[in-house]
Every structure is written in C-alpha cells, then in structure tokens.
Amino acid sequence: MSLLNREVFWPPADELVEVAERIRARLGEWPAAETRWRICLTAPESPKAGDLIVFTEPHDADTERLASGGAAVLEAHGARVTLRRGDERFALEGQWSDDWLAALAAFLDCNFEPHDALVLALAWRAGDENKDDAWPVDFATFPRVTDLPPAPDGGFQSCPDRLGLYPVLPSAEWIERVLDLGVRTAQLRRKTNDVAGLPREIARSVDAGRRHDAQLFINDHWREAIAAGAYGVHLGQEDVQTADLSAIARAGLRLGLSTHGYYEMLRALHFGPSYLALGAVFPTTTKVMPTRPQGLARLARYVQLLSGRVPLVAIGGIDAQALPGVLATGVGSAAVVRAVTEAPDTASAVSALQQMFSGQC
C-alpha cells in the first residue's frame, strides 16, 4: 500500500508524496494498481506509457505528441480539467482542494483508471483523511462532466427505486416464460441479424409485459421500443451519442443507462435517466466488456454515493452464489442472465433468486 520508494511524481516532490501517502493509508485495502502511473509535473522530453503529464497553467506544448506512446495529458485551468488518453477525452468542471494531485496519486494506487481516479481526486477535500470514513461520498463535492449535449426537456419517466430481480433475456419466448413465473422486471436483449423479425419479437415482449403489469425494457432498439409502446429502453454509454433521447422521453419511455465507473456515472446522470446499471460487477461471458470487473467493494461505494438519487441495478456475472453479496451493498436490483437462461430448472432458479430479494425493504 506504500507509495514510498518508487517514482510517483516527476520531478520528485517529497511533500506531495507524503500527503499522497497519508491519503492512501486512509482509503483501505484495494487491489494493487495494474499500471504504476508516474504523475509528471513538467513535460518529460520522452513521454512513456504510464506517464500522466499535468499542466496547471496555460502552455504551448504539443499535447498530441506528449500523449503518444501510452502517456496521458491532464490540463487543469480555472474550474475545468481535461484528461486526454489516446483518442479518449474526459472533461470535468468543479472545485477542488489543494491536495487534489496527491489524492490523484492515491486513487491511482487503488487501481482506478485515470478518469475515475481524477473524479475521486476532484471530489476529495482537505481533511477528509481525518474522517471515520475517508472515501468521497458527498455528491455535492463531485465534479460534473462537461461538453455534453443537453438533456431532454421534461426528463424521463421514473421507475421504482428497487426494481428487484432483473433477468436479461434473449427472446420473447423467454420473456413470457419468466414473467409467467412472477418476475416483474425484465429486459429483452435480442442479438440477431433477423431485422424483419425484430419488431415482432419486441411487440410480443411488450404485450407480455402489459399482461403482467411488468417493467419491460428493450435493449438498444429504441425506435422499435417506441413503436411498440415499451415500458422502457436500456442503452449503453456509446448509444447516448446516436440515440434520439428526446424522442424516447417524449414517448414516455423510461431510460436505463449502463455505466462502468465514476466518470460514466456522472456522465449518465447528466441525462436524467430512470435508472443506472453499475457493472460489470464480476467477469461475464455474455458480452465483451470495455472495462475490468468492478467488484463488490467498488459497487458498495457506488451505491453509497448514489442511493436515493437514482435507482441502481448491479449487472455483470451475477449468479445465485454471488447475489447475496451483491444485495448486501444495498443495491435495489440485480440483473442476471445465465443464472436464469442456463438453469436446469427455470422455475426453481427464479424462485430461489426471488427469495433472496425478500429481505430487502
């Protein structure tokens, strides 16, 4: 857990390292960082992978050259911070403490990606290390994501704060089968090249949802979901750039958004979604994930920050064995796939999973 005896800042900055060490000591046990980031307080002649180059004053440096070879560039001017890493750009606004660079080193050491470590560092306040729980959990201190399109006027319809068991299913036949077993939240995630048959599958699923008075979400296919009058749609982060969120809101559909860490949660909240999906909690084989598994410790911190602000759904690799630990974080819903679709006895599996939610208020 020690930051000492290795190059954390370049040029060396003993005072910053000492503050970073104090902060890190109060953050608890986290997996060892996969990348040993070096925070460069001045631009090195030959940037390398793992360099995070920081500019706190206007400059004329060639940031594209500096960001080549795996380095990242962070510019903090006024109330705005921009992080560039490869082709990705992360823009934040807010107020931060004088200790933010030391906090950044500490959160990087907790194995957070630079954009998520940056969010936490900007939310850190001097003196937080003296609290019983030093982790940033006051939403008011967190920065906001900038350079986003406006959220739809009027926002999205709300959904229950606790959506409970949330099977994600591949067909209308599966939707009907599971809703018949008493499940009241489900998602159709239809991955198919059968474009002609897709509207029929969605309409059939939506009809089943209406018969059971269930919250039926459609994954990705928002146009067809609107046409069928679905309860809601679920979109990924990349879909926010291409989907007509205003059309979804005008149609009265709920919106669920996938997130994979602090930055994406703040970005998603800008659009006022009906719920946030937090994942992937564990490794999953049902789809290729853009980020490493989050784990229960991170999930618990996400729930602590966002509970009561927006309904939350844990997702990714959750089965009957893992579900009690997931629910212990306080999250109000958990999405499952193979725990239902690959169960030897669907009815027994659904009943057992439902029972695990019965103790939640």
DSSP state of 106: H
Instruction: Provide mean pLDDT across the span 197-206.
Output: 96
Residue 60 lies in a domain: yes
Is 87 among the annotated ligand-binding positions?
A: no
Same domain, 281 and 182: yes
Lowest mean pLDDT across 40-49, 138-147, 207-216, 274-283:
40-49
Residue 53's pLDDT is what? 97
* Sequence-distant (≥ 6) Cβ neighbours of residue 245 within 8 angstroms: 151, 152, 255, 271
**In the prediction, which pLDDT does 65 show?**
84
Residue 274 annotated as binding site: no
Please compute, for residue 21, the number of CA atoms within 13 A of its CA located in the half-sphere on the CB side: 14
Q: Using an 8 Å Cβ cutoff, are 348 and 329 in contact?
A: no
Mean pLDDT of 236-250: 95
The pLDDT tens digits of the residues spanning 45-87 come to: 989 999 999 999 999 988 888 887 789 999 999 999 999 998 8
Query: Is residue 176 located within the same domain as residue 314?
Result: yes
284 is in an annotated binding site: yes
Task: Verify that 137 and 202 share a domain, yes or no.
Answer: no
Average pLDDT over residues 237-258: 96
The domain spanning residue 290 has which CATH number? 3.20.20.70
Residue 146 annotated as binding?
A: no
286 is in an annotated binding site: yes
191 appears as a binding residue in the annotation: yes
pLDDT at 191: 84
Q: Following DSSP, what letter does each residue of 130-156 receive, concatenated? A: GSSS-S---GGGS-EE-S-PPPPTT--
Q: Any known ligand binding at 190?
A: yes
Q: Where does the pLDDT of residue 360 fall: very low under 50, low under 70, confident under 90, or very high at 90 and above? A: low
Is 284 contained in some domain?
yes
**What six digits make up the tokens of 254?**
């709920």
Longest dimension (CA), the chain: 66
In a domain, 91, yes or no: yes
Could you tell me if 349 and 212 lie in one domain? Answer: yes
**pLDDT confidence tier of residue 1, bands split at 50, 70 and 90:** very low
**Residue 2 banded pLDDT, cuts 50, 70, 90:** low
- Whole-number pLDDT of residue 199: 95
**Are residues 130 and 228 both part of a single domain?**
no
Residue 222 identity: W
Residue 131, annotated ligand binder? no
Instruction: Answer whether residue 3 is part of any domain.
Output: no
pLDDT of res. 4: 58
Please check the confidence at residue 244 and state whether its pLDDT lies above 80: yes
192 marked among binding-site residues: no
User: Is 158 annotated in some ligand binding site?
Assistant: no
345 and 303 together in one domain:
yes
In a domain, 198, yes or no: yes
Mean pLDDT of 87-101: 96
115 contact partners, CB below 8 Å, separation of at least 6: 83, 85, 88, 90, 261, 263
73 and 181 co-located in one domain = no
317 is in an annotated binding site: yes
> Does 329 show up as a binding residue in the annotation?
no
**pLDDT tens per residue, range 288-313:** 666 789 999 999 999 999 999 999 99
Please indicate, yes or no, if residue 158 is contained in any of the structural domains.
Answer: no
For the beta carbon of residue 195, count every other beta carbon within 10 angstroms.
Answer: 8
CB 284 within 8 A of CB 248: no
pLDDT digit string, tens, across residues 149-165:
999 999 999 999 999 99
- The answer on 115 and 42 residing in a single domain is yes
Please give the residue range of the domain that contains residue 268: 164-357
Per the prediction, the chain carries an average pLDDT of 94
Regarding whether 193 and 124 lie in a shared domain, the answer is no
Q: Which residues of 308-324 are buried (b: 16+ CB within 10 A; e: fewer)?
A: eebbbbbbbbbbeebbe
103 and 235 assigned to the same domain: no
Q: Report if residue 115 sits inside a domain.
A: yes
CA torsion 7-8-13-17 (nearest 10°) is: -120
Both tokens of 304, joined, read 């602590």
**Nearest CA among 138, 129, 69, 142 for reference residue 99:** 129
Same domain, residue pair 182 and 320: yes
Whether the per-residue pLDDT at 361 is higher than 60: the answer is no
Structural domain total, the chain: 2
Confidence of residue 358 (pLDDT cuts 50, 70, 90): confident
Same domain membership, residue 100 and residue 185: no
Residue 4 included in any domain? no
